[in-house]
Amino acid sequence: MTLSLLPDRVEDFDASSWDTIKPHFDALLAYDLTADNAPAWLAQWSRLGALVLDTYTLLQIAYDLDTADENKRAAAEKFITEIYPQVMIAQQALKQKLVASGYDAPEQAVMLRSFRNEIEIYRDENVPLIAQVNQLGLEYQQIMGAMTVIFDGQERTIQQLRPYQLKTDRAVREDAWRAGRERQMQDREKLHDLFDRMLALRHQIATNAGFANYRDYMFRSMGRFDYTPDDCKAFHAAIEEVIVPAAQKRLERRRQQMGLPALRPWDTMVDPLGREPLHPFDDVKTFIDKTARIFKRVDPTLSGYYDTMSAEKLLELDSRKGKAPGAYSTAFITRGQAFIFMNAVGMHDDVQTLLHEAGHSFHTFEMNRLPLLWDRDIPMEIAEVASMAMELLAAPYLDAFYSSDEVSRARLEHLEGTLAFLPYMATVDAFQHWMYENPGHSHAERDAKWAELSGRFTPGVDWFGLEEERASYWQRQLHIYQVPFYYVEYGIAQVGAWQVWRNSLKDPARALNDYRAALALGYTRPLPELYRTAGATFSLGDKALLSQLVDLLESQFAQLEAEA
């Protein structure tokens, strides 16, 4: 049987039902595959996989842009529940066919390692369960996207309350913080119940595949070949010993600067010296154009990628009612392009978010020369180096938005944020380990565990009288609901990004070249090699390395405070 003809454009690919897609997979399954003709067969499969993924990406983006549109939700749900489960089954059969053919090209060693791993843990009975979990993820987006409050005379999304956390009037900050938390608390039990359903399905998926718990299943499912759950716990301990005291020191300095007896949750984002919040832009067009100036100074090739995204309307940046929360970059594989989704409201955090997501997008563009879909199926541990390092590499050029003293202030805020993030990451990751190791826990136990971990890793803020708000704060973290265990990667990558940044302070040109070289490799090398290419060490729990990086941060804090 010959291979089927595939269109060049996803818009010309009929993915309206499994019946229209199935013949393409059938042709691949019926093909007389050998180790010799496998490269051409793989290329065809890769193209088909890219068309299927791009179809889903378009449906997901359409829904994220308008979560109130039931037709868009129905289209995304149909793909998730009716089409993609069949795709998963067919993909698994193709992986088994390739491995059985004896194909063993050294240049595809990483891909084949992943395929063998996926064959081992795959179970047909899990396909509908995974579809159900994905459908519940859409429900989470709908609940969160529908949250609005009347504040300052207007209906506002929870995201649109964020700028009020930068107001110098403490009463306004408190009112905005409470308004957002009170609205989220209205759906507290609904979100608990939603997670209960997810937890039960995920535990069943794990036991079906022969694992004791979903955590162990996910480590295999996510292809974590280079570290273990115990390594993550060692990372948590190293963060508690090295990073938490440094982060506490910054919070104590903030408290003293603000002249407060204690910091409250609404005191952690405002400028501690009482200056008005940085206001980088008034409208999205200005935001896009000024960011373009930054990338022109970072690197001409990366700048070209960004300009393409701007010209092709691949930047969806504003915040509005009904739009899903959060931010992400995703790839249109068949086009060789990237798309950025976010909820900008005129804060400096928006600038950092766009720089971060642009780093992901640059990764997409840099991988375009790689021949196969799976070469670009990058693990998040390196994907987040691309994004977090870009925030740091672009930081010297923030004068596109600010005066010189404001640039120093913005850089100081960002570096403090990277330090504060690691303890929060450890809270989220340790929380997920506990939940899936103890799947029979109650709502009260779940909230109590979050409060305990929050106190362990992020002390320094007074939550007196807000105990319930603190205990339920985990519900705002979409990763816990939609992409479980995808969070420690941020911490691992932050350590990698700090190392890329450290290199750039010594030799900017070489650091950028190493960064781009690592991105261009996609996932054709194991993680430790990708990190080495970027000029960094892949490590969890290395207290000496963390101590060196904290010393660098503290020296930068002192310098930037003198300039701001």
Residue-wise pLDDT for 336-386, tens only, equals 999 999 999 898 999 999 999 999 999 999 999 999 999 999 999 999 999
Give the pLDDT score at 332. Answer: 96
> pLDDT of 211-254, one tens digit each?
999 999 999 999 999 999 999 999 999 999 999 999 999 999 99
**pLDDT above 80: residue 535:** yes
Give the pLDDT score at 321. Answer: 86
pLDDT band at residue 1 under the 50/70/90 scheme: low
**Strands 148-151 and 154-157: what pairing?**
antiparallel
- 514 near 503, Cβ under 8 Å? yes
Give the pLDDT score at 74. Answer: 94
- What mean pLDDT, rounded, does the chain reach? 95
With the CA atoms of 332, 337, 343 and 345 taken in that order, what torsion angle do they form, in degrees rounded to the nearest 10? -170
Cα–Cα distance for residue pair 244/264, rounded to 1 Å: 18
Question: Strand (E) positions, 122-229?
Answer: 148-151, 154-157
Other residues' Cβ atoms within 10 Å of the Cβ of residue 11: 11
**Strands 315-318 and 337-344: what pairing?**
parallel
**pLDDT above 80: residue 427:** yes
Rg (CA), the chain: 24
Give the pLDDT score at 369. Answer: 94
Cα distance from N-terminal residue to C-terminal residue, the chain: 69
Cα–Cα distance for residue pair 460/177, rounded to 1 Å: 18
pLDDT band at residue 326 under the 50/70/90 scheme: confident
Give the pLDDT score at 463. Answer: 97
Cα–Cα distance for residue pair 340/363, rounded to 1 Å: 13
> pLDDT of 19-36, one tens digit each?
999 999 999 999 999 999
Cα–Cα distance for residue pair 119/96, rounded to 1 Å: 7
> pLDDT of 429-452, one tens digit each?
999 999 999 999 999 999 999 999
Give the pLDDT score at 218. Answer: 97
**pLDDT above 70: residue 324:** yes
**Strands 154-157 and 328-332: what pairing?**
unpaired
**pLDDT above 80: residue 91:** yes
Structure tokens at 112: 């084949």
Average pLDDT score over residue span 48-64:
96
Using the CB atoms, write b or e for 12-23: b if 16+ within 10 Å.
Answer: ebebeebeebee
Cα dihedral 316, 319, 320, 323 sign: positive
SS3 379: coil
Cα–Cα distance for residue pair 91/98, rounded to 1 Å: 11
Average pLDDT score over residue span 51-63:
96
Cα–Cα distance for residue pair 358/390, rounded to 1 Å: 8
- 214 near 202, Cβ under 8 Å? yes
Q: Which residues contact 430 (CB under 8 A, 6 or more apart)?
A: 233, 236, 453, 457
CA-wise closest residue to 130 among 156, 92, 103? 92
CA-wise closest residue to 321 among 466, 147, 517? 147
**pLDDT above 80: residue 564:** no
CA-wise closest residue to 457 among 417, 415, 508, 423? 423
Q: Which residue is listed with tokens 């508690």?
A: 240
SS3 247: helix
> pLDDT of 473-520, one tens digit each?
999 999 999 999 989 999 999 999 999 999 999 999 999 999 999 999
